């Protein structure tokens, strides 16, 4: 037998993560609050209703007697954000955690999925235990991967593992006394059992013209040098169909392009060029997706 090849630090870290991926997931202080986010009025109203229930839990359940019809007493609480990518679902989850003075544990399905049959459900259980220990909000991104429909036609051990994962998730949701937020672009893929257990389903739409104006004002740094022709209303009109994430990227790319052109100020023309390029690239991606 030959000598085993020495492993570098990255190989060792990767191996340890495969053994126990949950050990590397942390409850973190949220970076975003509602002053950093632009959402349309309807979304804000829905979120405020949810926050009122959480913040006035004792009044609603004890003083007003809602515990008579909801035996969870509002201790087990889940919300679902669904809609287009880049519309603010993830940062809104952080803002909720900030408002409630809690840390947040952000989970992507890839973080807990295991190649070993039966380990993914165990990882889910560990995630909920960690959230309980740290009194943190649990945030599952791309939640359709874990809340998808259970399989009725079981053909192999992988199918069995998928259904076991769904069942464990249902059990944890029922037992967990805390806040869970899900986010997805594919809400229709959810199993009905999960849909029934989630208190509020809030749709995140692409911003309106008014919303885009607010986003441009928020994402244009006061220190960023602009030519006199730069007009926020014009930029808002031309960025129709784009998200807050798109607009943030446009500002960054426009600043970089200005430097590459050896110009001192970002011009309206540069902004419009980048907007059009982004729209064209998204259109090409949509065509590729449809054709495939």
pLDDT tens per residue across all 292 residues of the chain: 444 555 655 554 455 555 666 777 899 999 999 998 999 889 999 999 999 988 998 898 889 988 888 877 677 889 999 999 999 999 999 999 999 999 999 998 888 877 666 688 889 999 999 999 999 999 999 998 888 877 666 666 566 777 888 889 999 998 999 999 999 998 888 989 999 989 999 999 999 999 999 999 999 999 999 999 999 999 999 999 999 999 999 999 999 999 999 999 999 999 999 999 999 988 766 554 344 4
Residues of each domain in the chain carrying CATH 3.40.50.300 = 9-204
Sequence-distant (≥ 6) Cβ neighbours of residue 111 within 8 angstroms: 21, 25
Q: State which CATH number among 3.50.50.60, 1.10.8.60, 1.10.3260.10, 1.20.120.430 fits the domain covering 209-291.
A: 1.10.8.60
Are 199 and 179 within 8 A, CB to CB? no
Residue 243, φ and ψ in degrees, nearest 5: -100, 175
Exposure b/e, 37-70, CB count within 10 A at least 16 = b: bbbbeebeebbeebeebbeeeeebbeeeeeeeee
Cα gap 113→17, rounded to integer Å: 11
Closest CA to 172 of 194, 157, 151: 194
Residues of each domain in the chain carrying CATH 1.10.8.60 = 209-291
Q: State which CATH number among 3.30.70.890, 3.10.20.30, 3.40.50.300, 3.40.1350.10 fits the domain covering 9-204.
A: 3.40.50.300
Q: Radius of gyration of the chain from Cα atoms?
A: 23
Sequence-distant (≥ 6) Cβ neighbours of residue 251 within 8 angstroms: 219, 220, 221, 224
């Amino acid at each position: 037998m030959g000598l085993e090849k020495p492993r570098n630090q990255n190989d060792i870290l990767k191996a340890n993560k495969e053994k126990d991926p949950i050990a590397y997931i942390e409850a973190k202080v949220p970076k975003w609050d509602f002053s950093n986010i632009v959402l349309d009025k309807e979304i804000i109203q829905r979120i405020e209703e949810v926050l009122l229930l959480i913040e006035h839990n004792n009044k609603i359940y004890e003083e007003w007697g809602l515990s008579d019809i909801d035996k969870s007493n509002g201790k087990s609480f889940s919300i679902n954000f669904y809609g287009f990518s880049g519309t603010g679902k993830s940062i809104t989850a952080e803002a909720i955690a900030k408002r409630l003075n809690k840390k947040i544990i952000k989970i992507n399905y890839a973080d807990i999925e295991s190649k070993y049959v039966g380990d993914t459900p165990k990882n889910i259980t560990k995630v909920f235990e960690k959230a309980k220990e740290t009194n943190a909000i649990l945030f599952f991104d791309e939640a359709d991967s874990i809340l998808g429909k259970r399989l009725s036609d079981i053909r192999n051990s992988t199918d069995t593992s998928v259904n076991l994962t769904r069942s464990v998730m249902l059990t944890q949701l029922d037992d967990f006394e805390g806040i869970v937020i899900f986010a997805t672009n594919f809400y229709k893929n959810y199993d009905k059992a999960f849909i029934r257990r989630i208190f509020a389903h809030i749709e995140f739409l692409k911003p309106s013209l008014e919303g885009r104006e607010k986003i441009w004002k928020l994402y244009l740094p006061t220190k960023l040098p602009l030519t006199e022709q730069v007009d926020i209303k014009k930029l808002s009109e031309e960025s129709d169909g784009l998200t807050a994430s798109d607009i943030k990227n446009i500002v960054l790319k426009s600043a970089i392009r200005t430097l590459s052109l050896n110009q001192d100020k970002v011009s309206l023309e540069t902004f419009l060029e980048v907007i059009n390029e982004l729209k064209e690239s998204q259109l090409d991606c949509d065509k590729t997706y449809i054709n495939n």
